[in-house]
Every structure is written in structure tokens, then in C-alpha cells.
Amino acid sequence: MAIEVTPGMFSSQQVKPSMKAGLVMAAFTLLTLITFGFGGNPAIVTFQLTEKGHALSVADFAVSSSGFALLVGGLMGVITLVATALTILKRVVPMWLSLIFGLLWVSALLGWLAAGNVVPVSFILSNAVVLAVPIILGALGGVISERVGVVNIAIEGQLLTGAFVASVIGSVTDNLWLGVLAAAIASAILSMALASLAIKYLVDQIIIGVLINLLVIGVTNFLYSQWLANDGQNVNYPGTFDVLAIPYLSEIPIIGPALFANRVTVYLCFILVPLVWFMLFRTKLGLRARAVGEHPLAADTVGINVARTRFWWVTAGGAIAGIGGAALSIGNVGAFGREMSGGLGFIALAVVILGRWQPFYVSAAALLFGFAIIMRVWANQVSPGIPTDFITMVPYVVTLIAVTGFAGKVRPPAASGEPYTKG
């Protein structure tokens, strides 16, 4: 053979090393040391690791706010040095290192905000999980759809549809399970509209998505003010699923209550994430789905029906996003509220990309946003002196840190958004 088989046309070591991870980390380390540490408040802050009345309790962790910041800042400095060294050695800074760095910074921030006060760690975590569930399920729908090559920006509409239908059907039938089922079906039907317009009639996928979002907001607003608001007792009072604590597991300190004392919608999410991953990456159907999203013509030439594959996967994605909507109304609040998805669908859209079209990464990214949302709520209460706008920035700051951990460009499915037509 005349040509050696070499991976990559040109060797990958020639990729330009980027200093951005080190620089961003250095900036945050300095911020932590100076603002939270030297300029911080020496008052005692208490990290409450278990909630009161918990069987397996761990002692609270009390420390001086500014001293804690200096300690954490030091650790962050070490990670910064390691990351810089890796970059100089032309190695990739691993994702988990960036994640640890992000967690450290967030804990320093918590300690600084709650100087002289208590940080209810367990409370924050469990709320973060609950808030993340609709984002995860919405993003999962987005992942499925984009993996087969259909861009789905109608996640917001799908969540809202799910929330509305779950609440109404749950109230009318007095059966929350029927509510979840109805939410999935309603959102799947909406996705069928998206899928057939995009696949059969080749309408621009972005336009369809925007229209579906606007349509759903309009319709649910109308029905809410004309119907639900007047007859709330009968049609918009479903209540929520009971909190179901899993024996033993829910007793694990810190993460136990956050993960294993939840409503059934959260557990459904825990099942769906690995299930979707398994379907996409381990099964025949998943291989075909990804082939269609990467190179539809190639899939066609081996006898895979591109249109049908796209249609059913997009529909399935819609059903999952619908369950995400149900998690919002009957899985958390207990009723439908006007535009209650409030932009979570768009966050899910960002999460799809941040999570690199991978169910597990997507879940991690969604958790980050869930955490950021609860931070904002809690920080306002303990530390009214700090401007809300600053706290609101936290999710995006955290995202920024996470993104610096990614080496190289993220690559979407190659045929995402591209209609497929035959000659």
C-alpha cells in the first residue's frame, strides 16, 4: 500500500493551543481572592448540609466568610496553574477540571453572599434539580430532533403545551397520570405538525419553530383568560404528585434528598435521560437516526427511509418535551399559569448546544441553569444588599466557565436543519 493509514489528514497536535481557559480561570481566581477574600466580610457563614429532622445528619459547616473565600481562592489558583500548564504542554484541559473550578467559585460566592447567615445547601440542590427537570426534558426533545436533522426551536411551545394540557386533563379527570400522558400526546401532535411542515413541505424550520411558539403562547393565553381563570376550581386545580422518598437512598447526606426525595416527574426524567442515550447510541434505530441527521443521502442509499425516520423521532422528541411541560405544572407548581414556561424552552435550546447533543452532558448543563435560577431566588432573601442584577448574571458566568472547558469547536449533526429532497 502506497499510503499509510494515518488518523486525520494532518496530525491533531497542530491545533492551535488556546490560553482562554487559563485566562478566564485566573480572572475568577483574582475576583474570589480580592472581592470575596481580602475585601470580604469576616463574619461566620454556616453551610447547612442536611435539613433539620433528617435521620442521617451531618454537622453544619461553619467558617469565616472571608477566610473561606481565601481558602477556596487558593484552590482555584492551583487549578488555574494546572490548566495553564496543560495548555502550555498542548494538552486539552479536561471538562471535569473546569467543572470543579466552577463549583469552587460558586461555593465561594455562596459563602460571600451569606456572610453572617446560613447557606441551606440541601435546599438549594433539591430545588435546582426540580427546576432543571423541564429544561432537561425540553432539551432532550431538542437533542432527539436535531440528531435526525430537524432543528427544533419550538421547545418553548412544546413545554407550554405540555404544562397546559397536563393541568387541564389532570384536573378534569382527577388523575395526574392521565395528565402526563395527555401532555406527551398533545406535544407529540404539535411536533408532528413541525415535522411534516419541515420534512414534507420543506418550510424553513426556524420559521415553523417561531410560529409554533407564538401560536401556543397565543392559544394558551386566550384559553387561560377565557376559561381557566374563570373556572379554575374545575379545570386548573390538579394539584401535584406526592413527593416520593426512596428508602435509604434519600438518606444520603447532601445529595440524597436532592435526588431521591422527589415527585414522580423527576424520576421519569432520571429514566428518560439514560433511555434516550441508549436508544441513540446503542441501538439499531439510533444508529439509523444519527445517520439520517449526519448524511441523509447516505442513509437513503442503504435503504433507510429518511422522511419516516425524521418524522417519528421528532414526534418522540415532542412527547418528551411535553412531559417536561407536565413536570412544570403538575410536577411542581400545581396549576397552569400564563406563559408559565417563561423562556425555559429557549434555555433548553442553549442547553442542547452547551451539552453537545449528548443526553448526559445536556442534563449537566440543564442542572447548571436550574442551580442558577434557585440561587437568584435564595440570594435575594439572605443578602438584600446585593443588586439582583448581579445575582441574575450568575447563570451566565457559570456557563462561561463551563464553556471555556470545551476544547475545540462543538460540532452539531452535519445535516441539522437541512431538508432532504430526492431527485
List of residues contacting other proteins (CB under 8 A): 1-3, 5-10, 12, 14-16, 282-285, 287-288, 290-291, 294-295, 297-304, 409, 414, 422-423
Minimal distance, residue 267 CB to other proteins, in Å: 21
Nearer to other proteins by C-beta: 245 or 407? 407
Minimal distance, residue 2 CB to other proteins, in Å: 4
Rounded distance between C-alpha atoms, residue 75 and residue 92, angstroms = 20
Alpha carbon 352 to its chain centroid, in Å, reads: 8
Cell numbers of 167, please? 393541568
Cell numbers of 324, please? 417536561
Rounded distance between C-alpha atoms, residue 410 and residue 77, angstroms = 27
Minimal distance, residue 192 CB to other proteins, in Å: 23
Nearer to other proteins by C-beta: 157 or 359? 359
Nearer to other proteins by C-beta: 2 or 59? 2
Nearer to other proteins by C-beta: 62 or 285? 285
Are 22 and 92 contacting, i.e. CB atoms less than 8 angstroms apart? no
Nearer to other proteins by C-beta: 55 or 302? 302
Minimal distance, residue 129 CB to other proteins, in Å: 28
Torsions phi, psi for 222 (to 5 deg): -65, -50
Nearer to other proteins by C-beta: 15 or 214? 15
Nearer to other proteins by C-beta: 309 or 399? 309
Minimal distance, residue 111 CB to other proteins, in Å: 40
Alpha carbon 39 to its chain centroid, in Å, reads: 34
Write out the H or E segment, with its range, that includes residue 182: helix 176-199
Nearer to other proteins by C-beta: 52 or 422? 422
Are 366 and 139 contacting, i.e. CB atoms less than 8 angstroms apart? yes
Nearest in space to 48 (alpha carbons), one of 118, 128, 143: 118
**DSSP letters of 344-377?**
HHHHHHHHHHHTTT-HHHHHHHHHHHHHHHHHHH
Minimal distance, residue 332 CB to other proteins, in Å: 32
Alpha carbon 143 to its chain centroid, in Å, reads: 11
Torsions phi, psi for 63 (to 5 deg): -155, 155
Looking up cell 419516516, which residue turns up?
A: 308
Minimal distance, residue 412 CB to other proteins, in Å: 11
Tell me the torsion sign for CA atoms 369, 375, 378, 383: negative
Cell numbers of 16, please? 492551535
Minimal distance, residue 109 CB to other proteins, in Å: 34
Instruction: Judge residue 30's burial from the number of C-beta atoms within 10 Å of its C-beta, 0-12 exposed, 13-18 middle, 19 or more buried.
Output: middle
